[in-house]
């Protein structure tokens, strides 16, 4: 399936046929449009606010492609509240890459060419493994204020993440969610594509968005 998706996104002749995805999106109440680079964009509205889904070629080296990105601006989110929840395999990969950069005589772990999420794993406080509960075997987390992640990953969001390990993210593809500069972002390597899969990722993202007020409250001075 992954190879077929890669071929679809790399077609040189004509546009990929997103008809079925577009029909599903519009029937579900979302807006749909094709992207110039060969993917597509879907926009929707959750109870917690609007979001944008993008499917296209990978924008990060650690994603083999295709890449699914979801973005939502959250005005109430403190601009300096940085939280990162990611698959444990990806976290370990970042740590190995960071060590390689640090030991390279020409680079350091603070090299700006590294994506921010890789630098965060090296520099931000880690969330205690025990605080991740049932997610601890598949996920890791870092944050400027770890207590905020502990407040964030419970409830429906935590249940969606746990379910994703055996469904949407089965096989352990790269997956992360982060907050930074007043925005929530999800990145993952897509291994299957249909309305049900997209609906699953949208459900996970909306659950993360819905629970952010608890993380914001935990960030307030006591």
Compute the distance between CA of residue 103 and CA of residue 49 in angstroms, rounded to an integer: 44
Quick one: pLDDT at residue 9?
55
SS (H, E, C) the chain: CHHHHHHHHCCCCCCCCCHHHHHHHHHHCCEEEECCCCCEEEEEEECCEEEEEEEECCCCCCCCCCEEEEEEECCCCCCCCCEEEEEHHHHHHHHHHHHHHHHCCCCCCCCCCCCHHHHHHHHCCECCHHHHHHHCCCEEEEECCHHHHHHHCCHHHHHHHHHHCCCCCCCCCCEEEEEECCEEEEEEECCCCCHHHHHHHHHHHHHHHHHHHHHHHHHCCC
- pTM of the complete model: 0.90
Quick one: pLDDT at residue 221?
83
What pLDDT, in 10s, does the model give residues 135-165? 999 999 999 999 999 999 999 999 999 999 9
pLDDT of the chain along its 222 residues, tens only?
Answer: 455 555 555 544 456 789 999 999 999 999 999 988 789 999 999 999 999 999 999 999 999 989 999 999 999 999 999 999 999 999 999 998 877 666 665 554 455 678 899 999 999 999 999 999 999 999 999 999 999 999 999 999 999 999 999 999 999 999 999 999 999 999 999 999 999 999 999 999 999 999 999 999 999 887
């Amino acid at each position: 399936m992954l190879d077929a998706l890669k071929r679809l996104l790399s077609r040189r002749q004509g546009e990929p046929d997103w008809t079925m995805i577009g029909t599903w999106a519009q029937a579900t109440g979302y807006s749909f449009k094709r992207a110039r680079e060969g993917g597509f964009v879907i926009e929707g509205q959750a109870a917690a606010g609007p979001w944008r889904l993008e499917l296209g070629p990978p924008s990060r080296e650690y994603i083999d492609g295709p890449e699914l990105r979801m973005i939502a601006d959250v005005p109430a989110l403190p601009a300096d509240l940085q939280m990162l929840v990611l698959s444990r395999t990806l976290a370990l990969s970042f740590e190995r890459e960071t060590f390689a950069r640090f030991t390279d005589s020409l680079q350091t772990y603070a090299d700006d060419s590294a994506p921010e999420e890789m630098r965060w794993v090296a520099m931000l406080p880690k969330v205690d493994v025990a605080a991740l509960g049932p997610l601890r075997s598949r996920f890791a987390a870092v944050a400027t204020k770890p207590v905020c992640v502990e407040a964030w990953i419970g409830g429906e969001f935590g249940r969606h993440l746990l379910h994703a390990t055996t469904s949407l993210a089965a096989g352990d593809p790269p997956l992360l969610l982060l907050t930074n500069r007043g925005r929530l972002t999800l990145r993952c390597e897509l291994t299957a594509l249909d309305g049900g899969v997209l609906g699953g990722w949208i459900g996970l993202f909306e659950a993360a968005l819905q629970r952010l007020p608890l993380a914001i409250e935990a960030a307030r001075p006591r």
